[in-house]
């Protein structure tokens, strides 16, 4: 029997292999996912959820700052429209990283948290400050990474509805610790985060008692100080007692902090991962044990 010409012109792969190929292509080039979706209905089912792995909510005027990131950029209204029109549980099964760069009304936030309740990584610039009932964040039971302002974190610690959320956090970044007198309250709150292993601050300009409390906390594996040239001087002040702690790392953020967060969400190559690798290298002896400062743009110490 003669070979079927269509089999030569249009070869067919097993569906399982097709699925793997399209998902790998989507993960490698998120910007191309809208094009891949057009290939076939089955391809859309495979790769569209990957487009929504990372969701960014911002002001319309701030959208250019995220241009080219390859992931959906929403205003609050557009995200709520997606929640209303997408199939049930679509966003729940898709969204894992959520960046809130715009104020959200309480009722809107409740809808977002209920629909995107499998988020593991949340960066919040505004929302906590505008929401009176922080208990709505209790729906994010899978949350492990969170970045928010110090004042908002302290508010969370005083709200029973967020205690279960805090109990699961492993990575905490506090955004406005520079010159903030409320840093002295941090040691009292740390016991509310029994699984916390990584803590990032934007300043080390706090007193010896807090530095000593961090040094004595055996659960914390990484104490990270994030340096941004646009915010702090090129040379940060001495970390004092933390300089002798091999868990302490000072990271110069060569890229904008938005890009740093997005790279971590997209590829896993976050400043957390960089700090962990540096700590391991220092303990191994391939890096001078007295060194504690590195840059996201220079990883020559890994060679």
Q: Give the pLDDT confidence of 166-213 residue by residue, as tens digits.
A: 889 999 999 877 666 777 888 888 899 999 999 998 866 566 677 788
SS (H, E, C) the chain: CCCCHHHHHCCCCCHHHHHHHHHHHHHHCHHHHHHHCCCCHHHHHHHHHHHCCEEEEECHHHHHHHCCCCCCEECHHHHHHHHHHCCCCHHHHHCCEEEEECCCCHHHHHHHHHHCCCCCEEEECCHHHHCCCHHHHHHCCCCCEEEECHHHHHHHHCCHHHHHHHHHCCEEEECCCCCCHHHHHHHHHHHHCCCCCEEEECCCCCCHHHHHHHHHCCCCCEEEEEECCCCCCCCCCCCHHHHHCCCEEEEECCCCHHHHHHHHHHHCCCHHHHHHHHHHHHHHCCCCCCCCEEECCECHHHC
Res 195: pLDDT = 96
The pLDDT of residue 280: 95
Domain residue ranges of the chain, discontinuous segments joined by +: 12-49, 52-128
Q: How confident is the model over 74-89, as a mean pLDDT? A: 89
Residue 158 has pLDDT above 70, yes or no: yes
Q: How confident is the model at residue 221 (pLDDT cuts 50, 70, 90)?
A: very high
pLDDT digits (tens, 9 = 90+) for 1-46: 455 555 555 557 787 888 888 788 877 777 777 788 778 788 888 8
Model pLDDT, residue 9: 53
The model carries a pTM of 0.84
To the nearest whole number, what is the mean pLDDT of the chain? 81
Residue 282 predicted with pLDDT over 90 = yes
């Amino acid at each position: 029997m003669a070979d079927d010409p269509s089999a030569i012109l249009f070869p067919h792969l097993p569906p399982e292999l097709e699925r793997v190929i399209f998902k790998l292509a989507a993960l490698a080039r998120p910007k191309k996912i809208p094009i891949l979706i057009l290939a076939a209905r089955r391809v859309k089912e495979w790769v569209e959820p990957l487009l929504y792995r990372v969701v960014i909510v911002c002001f319309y005027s701030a959208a250019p700052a995220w241009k080219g990131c390859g992931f959906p950029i929403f205003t609050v209204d557009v995200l709520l429209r997606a929640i209303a029109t997408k199939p049930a549980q679509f966003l729940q099964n898709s969204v894992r990283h959520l960046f809130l760069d715009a104020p959200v009304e309480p009722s809107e936030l409740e809808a977002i948290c209920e629909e995107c309740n499998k988020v593991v990584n949340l960066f919040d610039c505004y929302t906590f400050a505008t929401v009176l009932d922080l208990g709505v964040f209790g729906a994010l039971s899978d949350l492990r990474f969170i970045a928010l302002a110090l004042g908002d974190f302290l508010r969370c610690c005083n709200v029973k509805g967020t205690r279960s959320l805090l109990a699961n956090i492993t990575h905490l970044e506090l955004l406005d610790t520079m010159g903030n007198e409320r840093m002295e309250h941090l040691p009292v709150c740390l016991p509310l985060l029994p699984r916390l292993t990584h803590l990032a601050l934007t300043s080390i300009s706090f007193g010896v008692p807090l530095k000593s409390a961090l040094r004595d906390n055996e659960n914390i594996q990484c104490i990270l100080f994030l340096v941004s040239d646009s915010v702090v001087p090129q040379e940060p002040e001495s970390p004092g007692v933390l300089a002798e702690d091999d868990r302490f790392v000072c990271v110069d953020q060569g890229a904008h902090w938005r890009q740093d967060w997005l790279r971590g969400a997209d590829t896993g190559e976050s400043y957390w991962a960089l700090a962990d690798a540096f700590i391991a290298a220092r303990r191994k002896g391939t890096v001078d044990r007295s060194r504690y400062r590195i840059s996201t743009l220079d990883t020559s110490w890994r060679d």
